[in-house]
Structure 1
Amino acid sequence: MTASSTRRPTARKSRIVAVGAIAVAGTMLLTACGDQTGGTKEDGPTKAKTSSAPLAGKLPKAIQDKGVIKVGSDIAYPPVEFKDKGKVVGIDPDLAAALGKQLGVEFEFENGTFDTLLTGLRSKRYDIAMSAMTDSKARQEGKDPDTGKKVGEGVDFVDYFIAGVSIYTPKGKTQGIETWSDLCGKKLVVQRGTVSHDMAKSESKKCEKGGKGKKGKKISVEAFGNDLEAQTRLRSGGADAGSSDFPVAAYAVKTSGGGKDFELVGEQVEAAPYGIAVDKDNKELTEALRLALDAIIKNGEYKKIISKWGVDAGAVTEAKINGGS
């Protein structure tokens, strides 16, 4: 999920790119169907399976022994991660399964509210957080994106995708909205703690300062626990527009109401990487994930998954640690 500082995540701005390229690919989002992610405690790998994987020895011994990496994720963010007939599917679960083959472990997804995932990571509830989380300096350093004050120890990120933030409106009711400045005086729905949320707060301050006759007309921002709740609010007529990471916004536009509920407006902005968050004290796990990601990029599994979900324009060519700004 992208964030404003930004994106589904944190102080960061968002993603990229060739909106046209992804827009075309967006039509694929409807037909894509992710594999069941990782596994459950009942079907976890045996120790023999773990030791036979190419990169199993790179994992911390504690994880090798249990054969499972616990993943904190807000599983309500299609197409990145969501539930389909009770199974956890999407871009992140598919990538996690591919990483698991390299490391010889199952990635066990546990649902949580997005803005609590890093807290869960710090408390050791999860080994990693993987949830369309934007890699930003604020998150790396454990700082509040609004105040710049230290609020935690920070985390390390293994970057695996690039995405931007988009705005969408009810279909046929754009009200001339094309850019963030056009939202002055309007009501916007977002997911709490995301880049979109951070951007909305920042842009609202600009609106209040004036410019183009919009002095004092701040953005009325309503934040929800997950993006699906924000979409429901917009669909019911409770807001003028919504904002989320481009892959998510494109998926909502294509699928909600059979494509009749929403439309994308303007171009996506704030290109930034999604990162797998890892505790700063767990450098061994961070490096193991980096190696595993590089391995699936090189063997073609990564490209196959990204293409399957129609988001090729956000693909990375190598794994990086803390590449966000």
Structure 2
Amino acid sequence: MSVRRRTALATPFLLAAGAAAAQSGPLTLEQIRRNGKLRIGCEATYPPFTYRDAGVITGYDVELATTMCRSLGVEAEFIDTQWSGVIPALYAGRFDIIMSSMSYTRARMERVAFTIPYAEAGQALLIRGRDEGRIRTLADMGGRSLGVKLGSPGETLHPRLAERMRADGGQPFSGVRTYDEHPAAYLALMQGTVDGVLNTLPTLAFVVRSQPGRFSIVRGIGADNWAGIALRREDPEVLAWLNERLMAMRADGSLKALQMKWFGLEFNLPDAIPTPAA
């Protein structure tokens, strides 16, 4: 997941291999119908994808999965899971699929199957609402201060952004401040300590939606990336059904409606799984 420094590959490979034996044979749609539910692994600390509201897991993913499951006549059951072990837990049979905006990486794609994208996961820039007309591109951040979270993709990305700004004949950032958490960086942005904060587009869209007029977003800052639904490679029938549902919801506008509800913007989604850079 791009927005957090999380890696589902932290658990040793041998653990994953041993867990795989716990789930033998392909999962079928008929089995899901008999179970009466589709079990979904998530990290319920990631608004607005999956998070707890009054103790109940809610969010964009929950509404999306609930809508998709209606075609099978089953419920969507979300299972809160430690993200570092989410892939081994999938192969251990604790749940059937993984959501929570899992972004595409080469390492993950070697271990799980992915659907087509259902969310963007690339980096964007949060700015003050009053600066919307002055900061429209990365170049406009030349000579301005940037905020990043310690250990985040933004911290890794900002040196490359500065190099790009120099290569284009512009100024780099005047300085980069690092914060322990993104909310502290957002506060610094409001107070004028920094002029922009890097984070993933969906997360920043949620921030903007939650505080109307205070912030704005500059898109297209980092390399494009997206998130898909992950599942075992042994479950092609489930994969085909998930892809069919996502395409149907794109076609009838219901996926866009959910994006507007939870993020206040529409995602730019390719029709095929992208080739990740890393």
Q: TM-score, normalised by structure 2?
A: 0.64
Partner of 1:129: 98
Q: Quick one: distance in 1 between partners of 2:71 and 2:5?
A: 27
| Aligned counterpart for 1:251 among listed residues 206, 217, 222 | 206
TM superposition shift of 1:279:
3.5
Q: Quick one: distance in 2 between partners of 1:278 and 1:129?
A: 6
Q: Do 2:144 and 2:194's aligned partners in 1 also have CA atoms closer than 8 Å?
A: no
Alpha carbons of 1:68 and 1:251: their partners in 2 closer, same or farther (altered >3 Å)?
closer
SS in 2 for 1:242: strand
Match runs of 1:10-49 below 5 Å: none
Query: Percent same amino acid among aligned pairs?
Result: 20
2:274 is aligned with 1:323 = yes
Q: State how many pairs are aligned.
A: 250
Partner of 1:88: 57
Give the CA RMSD over aligned residues.
4.4
2:137 is aligned with 1:186 = no
TM superposition shift of 1:267:
3.9
Q: Do 2:41 and 2:81's aligned partners in 1 also have CA atoms closer than 8 Å?
A: no
Q: Do 1:8 and 1:132's aligned partners in 2 also have CA atoms closer than 8 Å?
A: no
| Aligned counterpart for 2:37 among listed residues 43, 64, 67 | 67
C-alpha deviations, 1:232-279, integer Å up to 9, x for none?
A: 5655766542223334323312423x543x333x44444443311223
Higher relative contact order (CA 8 A, sep 6+): 1
Q: Quick one: distance in 2 between partners of 1:302 and 1:315?
A: 12
TM superposition shift of 1:212:
3.9
Gaps of 5+ in 1: 12-56, 144-151
Alpha carbons of 1:206 and 1:308: their partners in 2 closer, same or farther (altered >3 Å)?
closer
| Aligned counterpart for 1:109 among listed residues 54, 78, 92 | 78
Q: TM-score, normalised by structure 1?
A: 0.57
Alpha carbons of 1:169 and 1:160: their partners in 2 closer, same or farther (altered >3 Å)?
same
Q: Quick one: distance in 2 between partners of 1:84 and 1:228?
A: 19
Gaps of 5+ in 2: 8-26
Alpha carbons of 1:223 and 1:104: their partners in 2 closer, same or farther (altered >3 Å)?
farther
Match runs of 1:281-292 below 5 Å: 281-292=234-245
Match runs of 1:285-324 below 5 Å: 285-297=238-250, 301-309=254-262, 313-314=266-267, 320=272, 322-324=273-275
Q: Do 1:72 and 1:109's aligned partners in 2 also have CA atoms closer than 8 Å?
A: yes
Partner of 1:165: 123
Q: Do 1:73 and 1:129's aligned partners in 2 also have CA atoms closer than 8 Å?
A: no
Residue type at the aligned position of 1:157: F
